[in-house]
Amino acid sequence: MDWFSDVQQVYSHWTVTVHLVLLLFAVLAAKAITRRVLTALSERLDPREQFWRHALVTAAGPPAQIALWLVGLAVAIKVIIPLGPDPSPVVDTLTPVVGVAGVATATWFLIRFTVNVERGIYAYAERLGKPLDRMGTEALGKLVQAAIITIGLLEALRILGLSASGLLAVGGVGGVALGLAAQGLVSNLLGGLTVYVSQPFKVGEWVIMPEENVMGEVQDIGWRATRILGFDRRPFYVPNSKFNTAIVINHSRMTNRRIMEYVHVRYEDIDKIAAIVRDVREHLRQHPGISQDFFVVNFDSYGDYALKLLIYAFTITTSYAEYMQIKEDVLLETAAIIRRHGARLAVPTSTVHMPEGVRFYAAIERADGGQPQGVPAGAAPADAVEPGDTGEPAAAVPRLDDEVEIQGTETAEKLKEWRAKA
């Protein structure tokens, strides 16, 4: 009867092969039909009016294709493969694989659906013109995604015959080591949760972290790090744990921008300061871009080389470009007021008081070959006169690069004392 067993075995192989081929064509046909149906539904649904249905249909596209293959494989495992000889090893191996793949596909579909719903909510709120808390919506979406992934992971462990509690118990020391190694990750997760709850800043706002030397626009708040785009268009990835302790300055939430400038006026114009301050103060009072709640224009102090006027005010706008235009207008008008009163802006100057009896002479050669400065007409270049002198030449006056000779011991001692004090 060996020949009968061989014939039966060959028949079983051919039966399994034919059924698998038919199943393959069925799966391919179902994929084509599903793709057409989902595409047609996606085109007919308006994402602004029916964003729930649109989110469901668009999220089901790729996962549905994978799900059809898994259904075909499950049918093959349960129906076709048992028709062949000794199907147990194949069935035992593929059954958990198909189960885990199905859980992964369902998790993928739910995450895609959550993301599409979040986008639909944004579009719907924007269309209605209603304010939407984007950070709260993003936080809720991330929490839902985390819950979906956690449930999917636990279900996959159950299909594989593993117990989560058993794994934690067996982990023991390894779990403690893993916890210590992942403490930075946990800290970043808690920091991200803190940012979502307390909302010191939102996506799109401009922040500064002085301690970290970070300044820029918040682009994304993730679970591990927050991406901040700097003014020079370089991205900063700041771990969320930093926000638990670091100082964060939110520029986007300021109500006004500050103008704080010192204007320097010459000391000889001190009698005109009162009138200048009065006119500048009146200019700020009438300026449409300056907040009238509080501003200061006063004579502040005596500087090293000038009288210091303080201009302290706030602009109504918080736009940086408009702020710079208002500040420019205030400074230029202040300079005009100073000129109208016959005063001048001061520049750094120094006055040197020389000891009595010390005289410096220098014969400065001219580039055009003319008579050097300080030398009377007809005198030798080595002869020089002190400015304001009557023209008598001084004897043996050295060049600028030579040592100056001091005549008289008393004058020489005075010069040494003056140099020592300097």
Is there a single domain that holds both residue 275 and residue 309? yes
Alpha carbon distance, N-terminus to C-terminus of the chain: 126
Q: Where does a domain end: 283, 308, 340?
A: 340
pLDDT tier for residue 172 given thresholds of 50, 70 and 90: low
Counted domains in the chain: 4
User: pLDDT tens for residues 258-310?
Assistant: 999 999 999 999 999 999 999 999 999 999 999 999 999 999 999 888 999 99
Q: Is 111 found in the same domain as 160? A: yes
Average pLDDT over residues 203-212: 89
What per-residue confidence (pLDDT) applies to 26?
Answer: 80
Lowest mean pLDDT among 20-29, 167-176, 177-186, 314-323: 167-176
- Return the CATH number at 219: 2.30.30.60
Is residue 227 located within the same domain as residue 279? no
Tens of pLDDT, residue by residue over 349-363, are 777 777 776 665 554
Query: Percentage of the chain with pLDDT > 70?
Result: 68
Residue 244, token pair as written in the block? 């638990």
Encoded tokens for 409: 């011991």
130: Cβ contacts below 8 Å, ≥ 6 apart = none
Q: Is residue 195 part of a domain?
A: no
On whether both 12 and 129 belong to a single domain, the answer is: yes
Q: Is the pLDDT of residue 337 over 90?
A: yes
pLDDT digits (tens, 9 = 90+) for 226-259: 999 998 889 999 998 888 888 999 988 888 999 9
Prediction pTM value: 0.51
Task: Please tell me the least confidently modeled range out of 105-114, 181-190, 271-280.
Answer: 181-190
Answer yes or no: do 95 and 137 share one domain.
Answer: yes
Q: Are residues 36 and 79 in the same domain?
A: yes
| pLDDT of amino acid 403 | 40
Name 28's Cβ contacts closer than 8 Å, sequence gap at least 6.
Answer: none
At 10 the pLDDT is 42
**Quick check: 316 pLDDT over 80?**
yes
Q: Are residues 384 and 284 in the same domain?
A: no
Of 284, 315, 340, the residue that ends a domain is: 340
Would residue 150 count as lying in a domain?
yes
Q: Answer yes or no: do 112 and 20 share one domain.
A: yes
pLDDT category at 1 given cuts 50, 70, 90 is very low
Per-residue CA distances from 14 to 17, 26, 77, 79, 81 (Å): 5, 18, 16, 15, 12
Does residue 154 share a domain with residue 79?
yes
Check whether residue 144 and residue 117 sit in a common domain.
Answer: yes
Tens digit of each residue's pLDDT (9 = 90 or more) over 351-410? 777 777 666 555 455 545 555 554 455 544 444 444 444 444 444 444 433 344 444 455
pLDDT at 383: 44
| More reliable by pLDDT, 365 or 45 | 45
Residue 346, in any domain of the structure: no
Q: How many CA atoms lie within 13 A of 69 on its CB side?
A: 8
What percentage of the chain's residues is helix, strand, coil (to nearest 5)? 55, 15, 30
The per-residue DSSP string of 40-72 comes to HHHHHS-TTT-HHHHHHHHHTHHHHHHHHHHHH
Is 61 found in the same domain as 209?
no
Residues spanned by the domain of 159: 2-165
What pLDDT, on the 0 to 100 scale, is given for residue 286? 93
Q: What is the mean pLDDT of residues 193-206?
A: 84
Burial of 313 (0-12, 13-18, 19+ CB in 10 A): buried
Residues 319 and 267 in one domain: yes
